[in-house]
Amino acid sequence: MNVLLVGLGRWGENHLRVLAELGATVWVADASSDRLAWALRQGIDRRRAVTDYREALTHVDAVDVVTPAGSHRAIAGECLAAGRHCFVEKPLAATAAEARELEAAGRAARRLVQVGHIFRFHPVTAVLREALAAGRIGRVRYATGRFAGFKRPRPDGGVTQADAIHYFDLFAYLFDRDATRVDAIQRDYLGRGLDDLSWTVVHYGDIPASVEANYFVPGTWRECVIVGERGALVADFNDEAVTVHLGEHRRRGGAWEAVETGKEGLPVRAEEPLRLELRAFLDACAGRAPNPVPASVGVRALDVVEAAERSARLARTVIL
């Protein structure tokens, strides 16, 4: 399959590597001559490296958009109009309204739009889904997620849109239900006009999930905890580890006791999430499998992002 990769930034470099490993014939587009020169050093044929992505559209079957969020609507929209399937890194667009426009453009062109919510393809997520489906911790009561660490702020959106969105979508996927209401606190400590710290409580029906995202705490935190009636699942996406802690509170006489009944590390397959994600995209383009993350998923994630912004600004609950 001929695939056009638009955007050769740090994450675009990984896309180029994985697409090549999957056997795709890769074209690349980037406005920077330095980035194109880098791609040539990686083995890209000079004839398949362009500064304007439009020049390559007649030569490819699909497009992989790895550019800043503000450009997604224009680039993906034009590629869809040209009849090309599109993979679009998260967030699907800069706003939920633009995301809905891309969803409609995909329907009109009868081409698929897959959104890059990569946590859905993480091996840790697969283990969590299996444990929840097997009822290992009973009915889910609540969940927490932390996507944080001391790092360079993204220039194309606040930390809620850039990082917390991972968990907004992850919990919707794990619990198989959409968000229903949102409460949030956001701060702009750096004075950029964009949030750099946020706490968001997203309700998925009767399951509340608290999500923390920021650029300040030391280290790199990619973790979540899911608490149920009979225990909890503790997941670390960095270390690719999932532990089930079994236990419950029991009343004996006039007192409550916390009774631990077991602890088990669950096996996690060593697979690269981006490889699984892009392989799923190529399979969907070729008609071998359905689109695993359609545009509607990206729309719903952005609905939560925007609800969080409104909640923080107005200091009230926002109903979805």
Please give the structure tokens belonging to residue 183.
Answer: 């409460």
Same domain, yes or no, for 158 and 306? yes
In the predicted structure, residue 315 carries a pLDDT above the cut 90: yes
pLDDT of residue 127: 98
Residue 72 CA to its chain's centroid (Å)? 15
pLDDT of residue 120: 98
pLDDT band at 59 (very low <50, low <70, confident <90, very high): very high
The string of pLDDT tens digits covering residues 124-138 is 999 999 999 999 999
Percent of the chain residues topping a pLDDT of 70: 100
Please give the structure tokens belonging to residue 23.
Answer: 């056997």
Pairing of strands 181-187, 49-50: unpaired
Tell me the CATH number at 159.
Answer: 3.30.360.10
Please report whether residue 195 resides in a domain. yes
Same domain, yes or no, for 160 and 108? no
In the predicted structure, residue 174 carries a pLDDT above the cut 90: yes
pLDDT of residue 156: 87
Please report whether residue 297 resides in a domain. no
Same domain, yes or no, for 67 and 189? no
The string of pLDDT tens digits covering residues 135-165 is 999 999 999 999 999 999 998 899 999 999 9
Please report whether residue 285 resides in a domain. no
Residue 86 CA to its chain's centroid (Å)? 16
Task: State the burial class of residue 250 (Cβ atoms within 10 Å of its Cβ: 0-12, 13-18, 19+).
Answer: exposed
For the segment 13-33, the average pLDDT, to the nearest whole number, is: 98
Other Cβ atoms within 10 Å of 35 Cβ, number: 18
pTM of the model: 0.96
pLDDT band at 37 (very low <50, low <70, confident <90, very high): very high
Same domain, yes or no, for 249 and 175? yes
Tell me the CATH number at 66.
Answer: 3.40.50.720
Helices H, strands E: what count in the chain? 9, 15
The three-state secondary structure class of 11 is helix
Instruction: Report the mean per-residue pLDDT for the chain.
Output: 97
Q: Which domain holds residue 34?
A: 2-116
Same domain, yes or no, for 47 and 132? no
Nearest one of 317, 302, 120 to 203, comparing CA atoms: 317
Please report whether residue 276 resides in a domain. no
The string of pLDDT tens digits covering residues 72-108 is 999 999 999 999 999 999 999 999 999 999 999 999 9
Same domain, yes or no, for 93 and 179? no
* Residues in contact with 133: Cβ distance below 8 Å, sequence separation at least 6, in sequence order: none
The string of pLDDT tens digits covering residues 200-242 is 999 999 999 999 999 999 999 999 999 999 999 999 999 999 9
Please report whether residue 282 resides in a domain. no
Same domain, yes or no, for 151 and 266? yes
Count of domains observed in the chain: 2
The string of pLDDT tens digits covering residues 259-271 is 999 999 999 999 9
Same domain, yes or no, for 126 and 91? no
Same domain, yes or no, for 72 and 130? no
